Amino acid sequence: MFEIEPVSELKLMQAGGLMKVVIPAEILEAILKAPVKASEENKTLQILTHVYLSAKDGKLVVVGANPEYSVSSEIKTNVVSEGETLVLGEKLLKIVKAFPKTEILMELNENLLDVYTEDGNIKFSLQTLSVEEYPRQIIESVSVDPFCSLAQSELKKGLKKVSKFSSDDDTINPVFSGILFDFRSDNVLRLVATDTKRMGVFRINYSGDAVNERFVIPSDAADVLEDVLGGEGPVDIGVVKDEDGNVKNVLFVLEGVKISTSVIAGNFPDYERIIPQNLLNVATLNVRTLSDALKRISLIVDKETNRVSFEFDETVLRIKAVNNLLGSGSEVIPCKFSGAPDYIHFNYEFVDEFLDVVDGEVFYWGFNEVEGPSKFWSSEDENFLYVAMPLRRG
């Protein structure tokens, strides 16, 4: 959490209005981002397009919410006068971003929030709303005891790797549009995301009592969680359950930030069942070499299918794309292959997006059947694995 030097005696003498704080522009921008992002994703309640501001006990608190999740950020700052208000979050953030890197004063005067520099050369006045109109349960938030803690850096890394594999379409099964948090009694959390055609899994060790707990949070909540993670401290996780013992809300707490999110109802399938085992065919490939080759071959692929043929041989991988309107393209790259030489048709983006997030220079591509699931992994990124379905031949 940032700490700001005490305000000067002169500024304290000049205090007035219902709420007044002094804070560096770049720090105000930083704590506004996540709550404002939450408010921008609101599509139903007009009041939630506003963020809640509270100046009290030497802290500025900013709260933003939508029907799925809420974010509360707080920071120690110079509170000259205490107070609270609602203001349009998106507009306030844009204004703060436009300020030079200097101290900003925010002062509430009746129904206006004045945002200005100390010399008064830059000043904006924004309309506010009464805090009585904002849902009180969001401001007060949920308070629960955490059942586990894990490293912020690991959770951020895991969310970054798997989140792109969740589904944009929640009509098939809503749980596929979110991220599964699967806690096991081996003190390992599995993050899982799938759109039914590909799947990412990332393992993270957690501290706390060993539990068997699983829930799916919305992708938007996972995105904002990923944004705020990255500090050196831990993130604590707690849950609120209904009378039947089902998780209904999850609370993520890290220094200066709380995120409370609902969960997506439904049963996430047994994802481990589709991970191919005892692989008969395994290729060893260079990440950069294949990535560069796919960028070239993508120039000629049929954009309706993204179909690319991958032909494995003992020492090479032959890549080919045919476009009936434009022509064709091919490339041969080095490969170490163990198994029966064969070829697979893939949506090339399924392979390329794995290469975008995997760590290390070398990865492995394994499969048993050419029309069955392929497994992708790297010994340099041992906690991450990826599974994708090929296209049918013909």
Is the pLDDT at 143 greater than 80? The verdict is no
Torsion of CA 330, 380, 336, 345, to 10 degrees: -40
Provide the 3-class DSSP secondary structure of residue 273: helix
Q: What does the pLDDT read at residue 231?
A: 81
CATH number of 9-140: 3.10.150.10
Q: What average pLDDT does the segment 38-47 reach? A: 88
CATH number for the region 275-388 comes to 3.10.150.10
pLDDT at 48: 94
Sign of CA dihedral 340, 294, 330, 301: positive
- Cα–Cα distance, 39 to 261 (Å, whole number): 13
Is the predicted pLDDT of residue 4 greater than 50, yes or no?
no
Looking at every residue in the chain, the average pLDDT score rounds to 92
Q: pLDDT grade, residue 192 (50/70/90)? A: very high
**What are phi and psi for residue 28, nearest 5 degrees?**
-60, -40
pLDDT at 3 exceeding the cut of 60: no
**Is the model's pLDDT at 10 over the cut of 70?**
no
Looking at the chain, the domain(s) classified CATH 3.10.150.10 span 9-140, 148-272, 275-388
298-to-290, 294, 305, 362 alpha-carbon distances in Å: 12, 6, 11, 22
Q: Give the per-residue pLDDT at 13.
A: 33
What is the rounded distance in angstroms from the CA atom of residue 271 to the CA atom of residue 269? 6
For residues 156-162, average pLDDT: 98
Amino acid at residue number 21: V
d(CA 89, CA 35): 8
Please indicate whether residue 5 or residue 187 has the higher confidence score (pLDDT): 187
Average confidence (pLDDT) over 113-117: 97
Q: What is the mean pLDDT of residues 352-380?
A: 97
CB atoms near residue 79 (< 10 Å): 21
The answer to whether 325 and 311 have CB atoms below 8 angstroms apart is no
Share of the chain above pLDDT 90, in %: 87
User: Helix (H, G, I), strand (E, B), or coil: what is residue 352?
Assistant: helix
DSSP β-bridge partners for residue 190: 182, 203
- pLDDT tier at 170, thresholds 50, 70, 90: confident
Output the six-digit token pair for 144.
Answer: 């629960």
Position 281 scores a pLDDT of 98
C-beta separation of 256 from 232 below 8 A: no
pLDDT of residue 12: 34
pLDDT in tens, 45-87: 889 999 999 999 999 999 999 999 999 999 999 999 999 999 9
pLDDT at 9 over 60: no
* pTM attached to this predicted model: 0.90
Residue-level pLDDT at 314? 95
Please give the Cα distance from 69 to 66 (Å, whole number).
6
Q: Is 170 left (phi over 0), alpha (psi -120 to 50) or beta?
A: alpha
| Spatial distance between the Cα atoms of 27 and 76, rounded to a whole number of angstroms | 11
Span of 2-6, 72-76, 173-177, 189-193 with lowest mean pLDDT: 2-6
The fold for domain 148-272 equals DNA Polymerase III; Chain A, domain 2 (3.10.150)
For residue 142, name the pLDDT band (cuts at 50, 70, 90). low
Q: Helix 25-40 to helix 219-228 angle, to the nearest 10 degrees?
A: 170
List, for residues 286-311, the tens digit of each pLDDT value. 999 999 999 999 999 999 999 999 99
